[in-house]
Amino acid sequence: MRSKLLSLILIFLSCHKEITPKLFYSIGDVKSGETNFSTGGKSIAVISFPNHLGRCIIKLYPESSVSFSYAYVRLKKITVNISSYNGMIFLLSQDCNIKVGEDMSCSECEAFLKDKSFEVIEGKMKYKDIFIRKGFGYIPSERRMYALKPKINPVFPRDKQEVTIPLFLWEKRDDVEKYFIELSLDPEFLNPIYCVTTEENKFFPDQMTLKIFSRRIYWRIIYEDKYGIGGFPSSPQEMIIP
């Protein structure tokens, strides 16, 4: 009996392989270590774990940080544990399980982690014995669920429009405290090239310097009210640089 138990333990350990996070993509001032990552004022970091079957991605927005306590592969499935975080973080889980402490997990989902809440964009997220589904957020300290706000529609530039002047305009909402405008080389925004926060529904810099090798750029708007409650990101808009 003891030898059989030992064999089972050895089989379990042989299928249990530790993995480490990799800085997949970043812009600006990003600090990274073996298990800790943080971003500065206008920085973004995209962290990934090796996953041949799906994707296990954590994205840090400006002035955010994350620490991992462990990550491993067992029976071809990845498990990642986030021990602590702050700021705003995006989770993308496909064929992996991203755990946040002991109470929260994201498996086959897309979600934003915030300082006081989390919001589910796709799939569902588990908190203790509660499942929070797409379109809802949850504040653990208050045990309160809320509905996400609707998407904001971009106005200019129009989708697939050629742009020579760096002007961005989108719908205004009276209950918004801050907007995030994000530019990326891909429509999933995993290869970001610019991110800035504004209190107005427009962004018109004197000039923009972007390190890019493509004429096609995608942009979108994320937003929050004064309580930190957000909505769905706007649909990706493609613009063409002449």
pLDDT in tens, 176-196: 999 999 999 999 999 998 888
Q: Is the confidence at residue 9, as pLDDT, over 50? A: no
pLDDT at position 156 is 94
Reduced to 3 states, what is the DSSP secondary structure of residue 42?
A: coil
All domains of the chain, ordered by start, with CATH? Answer: 17-147 (2.60.120.1440), 154-240 (2.60.40)
pLDDT-derived band of residue 1, with 50, 70 and 90 as boundaries? low
d(CA 238, CA 217): 6
Tokens of 214: 């493509």
- 98-140 pLDDT, tens digit per residue, is 999 999 999 999 999 999 999 999 999 999 999 999 999 999 9
Contacts of 141 (CB under 8 A, 6+ apart): 116
The pLDDT mean for the chain works out to: 89
Least confident of 15-29, 137-151, 182-196: 15-29
Q: What is the dihedral sign for C-alpha 226, 119, 64, 203?
A: negative
Distance CA 59, CA 46 (A): 4
What single-letter amino acid sits at 76?
Answer: K
Cα–Cα dist 43/104, whole Å: 26
Alpha-carbon distance of 241 to 56, in angstroms, equals 31
Contacts of 76-83 with CB under 8 Å at 24 or more apart are 78/19, 78/49, 78/50, 78/51, 80/21, 80/49, 80/56, 82/58, 82/113
Q: Give the pLDDT of residue 201.
A: 94
Residue 3: per-residue pLDDT: 59
**Residue 86: its pLDDT value, please?**
95
The share of the chain scoring above pLDDT 90, in percent, equals: 67
170 closest CA partner among 88, 94, 235, 125: 235
**Residue closest to 180 by CA, chosen among 166, 194, 163:** 194
